[in-house]
Structure 1
Amino acid sequence: MLHLRVVCPPEHTTEVIGILDAEPGATHLIVLRGVAVAPEGDVVEADVAREAADAVIERLCALDLDHVGAITLEQIDTALSDAADKAAEAAPGEAADAVVWEELLSRTGEESRLNATFLGFMIIACLLAAVGVVTDSAVTLVGAMVVGPEFGPLAAIAVGLVRRRRDLVSRAAVALAVGFPLAMVITAGGTFVGEWAGLLDVTAVRGGHTVDFVYDVGVFSLIVALLAGAAGMLSMTSAKSAALVGVFISVTTIPAAGYAAVAAVLGEWQRCLYSIGQLGLNLVGIVVAASLVLLVRKRTWTSKDNGRPLSTG
C-alpha cells in the first residue's frame, strides 16, 4: 500500500474526494479542510493499493493539482486493516507487478544528479576496485561493485529514453561522463602514489590473476550486462528492491574502470583499452536491457508524460 496526500485548492476538494471514493483500490480517506498553508488549501489523504496508484495519480494530475497544489506518495510498510486488505484485493493486478511511473521518474531523477555524494561514492568505489586489482582480491572487487552508484544514472537514461525525457537523459549522461573519468584519474593518481610510497606492488598485476576477468571482454560480458540491466529495472519498477544488490555485484563497470586506471599507470595499454571496452559494453548492455523491460511494462502506462521539470533539490 501507498499513502497518498493531496494538497488542493478548496474548489477541487470535492473532485479529489470523488476520485478517491470511486477507486476500489483506495481506502482510509481523510479530509482536512483549510489546514494547508503553503500552498493554501485543503488536504486529502488516503491509502492506495500500489496497483491502483498510477491511475489515481493520472486523474489527479488531470486537475492540474501537481501545479496548483501537491501530490505526494509514501510507502506503507505495515497496514493492519480489513479495509486495506479489501482495497488491495479490489485493485487490479498484483502489487509487485505494478509500475508507478511518476514514482519511477522521481526516483531516477534524484539518483541521476551529479553532486558531491555521487562523485564521492564513485571515487571510493573505483579506488576499492584498484586495490582489489593490485591485491588480486575478488572480495574487494565485490565491495567496489556494491559501493558504486552508477546504476542510478543508467536506469535514469533508460527511463528517459522510453518516456522521451531529454532532461533526464542529459542529467544522467552528464553524471556518468563526469563521474567515471574523474574517478579513474584520481584512482590512477592514487595508484601512482601508492607505488611510489611502497604500499602497493603494482608490478604484480602483470601476471595471471583471478581478477583478470575484469578486462576479458566476451559474449558472456554482454549477457551478464543484459541480465543485470533487466533485473535492475524490474526491481526499480516493482516492490522487490532487494534484487538491486545482486545487480550491483554482477556487472563489471566499476572494476573495469579501476583496472583501466591501474593498467594505465603500469603502461599496460592493451589491458587498459580492454578494460575501457568492458566498461562501455556493460554500460550499453545495462541501458539496452533496462529500456526493453520498460517497453514491455509500457502496457501499464496510463498517460503521457506531463513534462514536469526534474527536482533540483
Structure 2
Amino acid sequence: MLHLRLITPAEKTDDVVRLIEGTIGTAHLCVFPGAARDPAGDVVLCDVAREAGDELLGELKGIGLDASGSIAVENVDLSLSRRADEAEARAPGESADAVLWERLIEATHEESTLSVTYLAFITLATMIAACGVVLDNAVLIVGAMAVGPEFGPLAGVSTAVVRRRPRLALRSVVALLTGFAVAMAVTVGFSFFMDAVGLFSEGRLEADRPQTGFVYAPDWLSFVVAVLAGAAGTLSLTSAKSGALVGVAISVTTIPAAANAAVALSYGDAVQTWGSTRQLLLNLLGITLAGTLTLLAQKHFWAGQHERLHERSGG
C-alpha cells in the first residue's frame, strides 16, 4: 500500500475526495478541514493500493493539486487492516509489478544530477577498477562495479525517452558523459602517479590477464549481458522489490572498461584503449536499449491494467 498526504485548497477538497472515493483500491480516507497552514488549506489522507497509485496520482495532478497544494507519497511497510486487504484485492494486477511513473522520474532525476558526490563516486570507482585491471584482480573489479553510480543516468535516458522528457534526457546524458570524462581523465593522472611510484607498470598491463582481459575484448556476449542487466536494473527501479540493483551493478563492465581505457591511454596502448572504449560504448548502448524497451513494455502492460481499473469502477 501507499500512503498519500495531500494539502488541498478548500475549493478543491471536494474534487479530491471524489477522485479518491472513485478510485478502486483506496482505503482509510481522512479529511481535516483547515488543518494546513503552508500552503493554507485542508489536509486529506488516504491509503491506495500500489497498483492503482499511478492512476490516482495522475488524476490529482490533472486537477492541478501539485501546483496549488501538495502531494506526498510514502510506502506503507505494514498495514494491519481488513479494509486495506480488500482494497488491494480489488485493484487489478500485482503490487510488485506496478509502476509509479512520477516516482521513477523523481528517482532518475535525482540520480542524474551532476553533483560533486556523483563525480566523486564515479571517479573513485574508476580508480579502483584501474588497480583491478593492472593487478588482474577480479575482486577489485567487482568492487568498482558496485561503487559506480552510472546506472542512474542510464535509467534517466530510458525514462526520458519513454515519458518524453527532453530535459531529463539532456540532464542524464550530460551527467553520463561528463562523469566518465572526468573519471577517465583523473584515472590517467592516477596511472601516471602509480607508475612513478612503481605500483603500476606497462608490463603488467600488457601481460596475459585471464581475470580482467575481457574488459578490452568486447563481443556479442558482452552486449547480451548488458541488455539483460539493463532490463533487470530497470525492473528493479520500477518494482517494489528493488534488491536486484546491486547485482545489476556488478554484472556490466562500464566502469572497468573506462578504467582500462584510461590506464592504456597513459601508456600509449592504442589497441587496449580502443578495445576498452568499444566495450564501454557497447555496454552503455545495451543497457539504455534494454531499459527503454522494458519501460515501453511496462507502459503498455499497465495501460491495459488501467483500462480494467476504469471498467471495474464503472468509468
TM-score range with shorter-chain normalisation? over 0.9
CA RMSD, Structure 1 to Structure 2 (Å)? 1.3
- In structure 2, the partner of 1:34 is 34
Distance 1:137 1:163 in 2: 40
Equivalent positions of 1:1-313 (< 5 A) are 1-209=1-209, 210-299=211-300, 300-301=302-303
Query: What letter corresponds to residue 73 of structure 1 in structure 2?
Result: V
Deviations 1:165-215 (A, max 9, x none): 100000000001110010001011111101101233442111111200111
State how far apart, in whole Å, the 1-side matches of 2:11 and 2:286 are.
49
- Asked if structure 2 preserves the Cα contact closer than 8 Å seen for 1:188 and 1:261, the reply is yes
Runs (4+) of structure 1 exceeding 6 A deviation are: none
Distance (whole Å) between structure 2 residues aligned to residue 122 and residue 279 of structure 1: 14
Distance 1:185 1:242 in 2: 32
Q: CA deviation at 1:29?
A: 1.3
**Aligned-pair CA distance for 1:268:** 1.2
1:203/1:266 contact within 8 Å kept = no
Task: Give the Cα–Cα distance (whole angstroms) in 1 for the partners of residues 162 and 19 of structure 2.
Answer: 28
Q: How many residues align?
A: 303
Deviating more after overlay: 196-205 vs 242-251: 196-205
Which residue of 1 is the match for residue 312 of structure 2?
A: none
For residues 14-51 of structure 1, what are the alpha-carbon distances to aligned partners after superposition, in whole Å with 9 as ceiling and x for unaligned?
Answer: 12112212323111212122122222111111111100
Equivalent residue letter for 1:196: A
The code of the aligned residue for 1:246 comes to: G
Query: Could you tell me whether the CA contact under 8 Å between 1:6 and 1:71 is conserved in 2?
Result: yes
Which residue is equivalent to 2:311? none
> Identity over aligned residues, as a percent?
49
Query: 1: distance between equivalents of 2:39 and 2:119?
Result: 35
Within 1, Cα distance between the matches of 2:246 and 2:49?
A: 26
Structure 1 CA distance for aligned equivalents of residues 85 and 100 of structure 2: 20
Task: Supply the AA of the counterpart residue of 1:61.
Answer: K
Q: Distance in 1 between matches of 2:201 and 2:75?
A: 49
Instruction: Give the C-alpha shift of residue 92 in structure 1.
Output: 0.9
User: Do the aligned residues in 2 keep the contact of 1:215 with 1:259 (CA within 8 Å)?
Assistant: yes
Letter in 2 for 1:269: A
SS in 1 for 2:212: helix
What do the CA deviations read for 1:46-96 (whole angstroms, capped 9, x no partner)?
A: 111100101111211121101111111111222222222111111111011
Give the partner amino acid of 1:158. S
Deviations 1:144-164 (A, max 9, x none): 001000000000000101111
What amino acid maps onto 1:80 in structure 2? L
Normalization by structure 1: what TM-score? 0.94
Shift of 1:285: 0.8
Give the conservation status (yes or no) of the 8 Å contact 1:145–1:249.
yes
Q: How far apart in 2 are the matches of 1:206 and 1:298?
A: 47
**Structure 2: any 5+ residue segments left out of the alignment?**
308-315
